[in-house]
Amino acid sequence: MTTVPFDPELLAGLAFFQREIEGTPLRTGNIHASRARFAALTAPIEAVVGDAPVAFEHVSVPGPAGAPDVALTVIRPAAGTSGAAGVYNIHGGGTVLGNRFFGVGELIDLVVRHGVVAVTVEYRLAPEDPYPAGVEDCYAGLVWMAGHAAELGIDPARIVVQGASAGGLLSAAVSLLARDRSGPAIAGQILVSPMLDDRNDAPSTHQFDDVGVWDRGANHAGWTAYLGDARGSADVPAYAAPARATDLSGLPPAFIELGACEALRDEDISYASRIWAAGGQAELHIWQGAFHGSNGIAPGAEVSRATDAARLSWMRRILAL
């Protein structure tokens, strides 16, 4: 199958990622090696903060019933704040790798430039802890954040959840849980290249099979680790794979962004379309030539700058930044 062409300005970044960061594409047999590789590349928060005017603290909060506590890191302006917008961040990593400091530089930038208070969550990873461990950890952290909004300096009516890849999956799932459990009133959900459909069979998954970043094989490995033998079956609930949801009404406004050169492209387009069909709000951006995570890998590219500007525009409108 012919692939969509990559943006020429992103090709060097794509090659760098595949050579220096990914090493080899994620597959079922190399999950732990990939996890160790990414852990070694993730800087501690102290190094990322540097002399930025922010304060951060690590807290341990009650986890799901019968499960361990959940670790969170709160990042806020050093000068303090009151009634700020809140950003609840769920890291990516295919459900199998990463930690709450993965991509924390973007959170720090939001705190410095826009005065938000950010909370980033550590959730249990698959395959050691498959569904529902990760999503329940994330939901527990969100409940704590909303319940402690006043002491955190957050306006509880201005909290968004956000995540990329598996973080997008978990952000969408947490939004469904909050609706169905009458939980925290989420102002919006930012889904960046989200994994939404465990069936892994949309045309774009075949188009980017062994091509690009987070290809069809990596997607298969991540979903299999998360769901085990249930992956692809009729037994997968919406909280595990949001594309399975039959009712997408009543959800917080969604911002969905990804590249045209992604295996996840078609399932994400479908999700936005189904939100609209249910009478909901969704803003969808498909960036021609972009690939999974390309704006982080090649932030100076024109398409990356446009991507970041569009997301910030949506946040300004939803959160009145």
From first to last of its 321 residues, what are the pLDDT tens digits of the chain?
789 999 999 999 999 999 988 989 999 999 999 999 999 999 999 999 999 999 999 999 999 999 999 999 999 999 999 999 999 999 999 999 999 999 999 999 999 999 999 999 999 999 999 999 999 999 999 999 999 999 999 999 999 999 999 999 999 999 999 999 999 999 999 999 999 999 999 999 999 999 999 999 999 999 999 999 999 999 999 999 999 999 999 999 999 999 999 999 999 999 999 999 999 999 999 999 999 999 999 999 999 999 999 999 999 999 999
In a domain, 3, yes or no: no
Q: By residue range, what is the domain housing residue 302?
A: 8-319
In a domain, 274, yes or no: yes
Alpha carbon of residue 29 to chain centroid: 24
pLDDT given for residue 252 in this prediction: 98
**Closest of 128, 265, 279 to residue 193, by C-alpha:** 265
In a domain, 204, yes or no: yes
In a domain, 264, yes or no: yes
Tokens of 320: 């009145």
Distances in Å between the Cα of 50 and the Cα atoms of 81, 98, 283 are 20, 21, 34
Q: How many domains does the chain have?
A: 1
pLDDT given for residue 1 in this prediction: 76
In a domain, 238, yes or no: yes
pLDDT given for residue 72 in this prediction: 98
In a domain, 279, yes or no: yes
Distances in Å between the Cα of 229 and the Cα atoms of 130, 143, 222, 249 are 11, 30, 13, 29
Question: Which CATH number covers residue 209?
Answer: 3.40.50.1820
In a domain, 183, yes or no: yes
In a domain, 1, yes or no: no
